[in-house]
Amino acid sequence: MSDVILETRGLTKHYGGVHALEGADFTLSRGEHVAIMGDNGAGKSTFVRQITGVEQRTRGEIIFDGKPVHFGGPLEAREAGIETVFQTLALADDLDVPDNLFLGRERTKWDWLGPFRVLDYKAMREATLAGLEKTAVKIPNIRNTIRNMSGGQRQCVAIARTATFHSKLTIMDEPTAALGVQETAQVENIIRNLKEAGEPLILISHNMRQVMDLVDRIVVFRRGRIVANLKKEETDGQDVVAYITGAKTQAEYEGAA
């Protein structure tokens, strides 16, 4: 088993004439937490959408867990072990916590009934409780519908999927963008728990303090290209901002920008 969980080689995505992502070479080791930063439209979310199979890439290779992969859709990526917390929360408001955690991959009995196979509510509730304990998520009542929850609780539910399904890689797209101070702290705690558990993470964030607090390495995107790959110990906030705005570009990416 190699040390690298995810690698992309020359990953490229064009929307018609728009080169949203151009030749991205990226590696992520097991247990490593990496932040992706960059301005709006720099290609961060596009990069994630190619990896998670939400969109199909124009060119390039994705090697996940030692094997080249072609995900036809987000469910395939999820089944392979990539769990994503999307910017727009992919939660159904009228369902409760276990329902949302298991949406699209319910535990069932009597599978011969096809689409009418019976839900195993008990197993799903128990797995939900275990997953929430593991991430130390605080939700008063898992039978509550998402509609009746605060923004932070919703985000926690979205993140708790990761823990419930023992994913190999977690991707979070601005998980705290819409949250208050306390709720942000709760989400950050979950991220620390993932780190302790040795689960790798890609974190897209605009929050410099959060990034400096949480991750090992920062990859900067600008205009669809990777322009810097910075170890946290060797950089600081100002340095990162210089890369984001285009004041600096690392030598090995010079030709790209």
Interface with other proteins (CB under 8 A): 54, 73-75, 78, 86, 88-95, 99, 103-106, 108, 113, 115-119, 121-122, 125-126, 129, 132-133, 136-145, 147-150
What secondary structure does DSSP assign to 186-204, as a single string?
HHHHHHHHHHHTT--EEEE
Minimum distance, C-beta of residue 141 to other proteins, in the bound complex (Å)? 5
**C-beta neighbour count of 198 within 10 angstroms:** 9
- Min dist CB 170 to other proteins, Å, is 16
Distance in Å, CB of 123 to other proteins, minimum: 11
Interatomic CA distance for residues 124 and 95, integer angstroms: 13
Query: How far apart are the C-alpha atoms of 55 and 195, rounded to whole Å?
Result: 28
Whose Cβ is closer to other proteins: residue 148's or residue 245's?
Answer: 148
CB of 126 to other proteins, least distance (A): 7
Q: How far is the CB of 128 from other proteins (least distance, A)?
A: 9
Nearer to other proteins by Cβ, of 113 and 185: the residue is 113
Structure tokens at 163: 């823990």
Which residue's CB is nearer to other proteins, number 162 or number 249? 162
Question: Does residue 230 contact residue 236 with C-beta atoms inside 8 Å?
Answer: no
Q: Which is nearer to other proteins, 126 or 252 (CB)?
A: 126
Return the structure tokens found at 223.
């205009």
Looking at the Cβ atoms of 85 and 244, the one nearer to other proteins is: 85
- Alpha-carbon gap, residue 255 to 247, rounded angstroms: 15
Which amino acid makes up residue 137? V
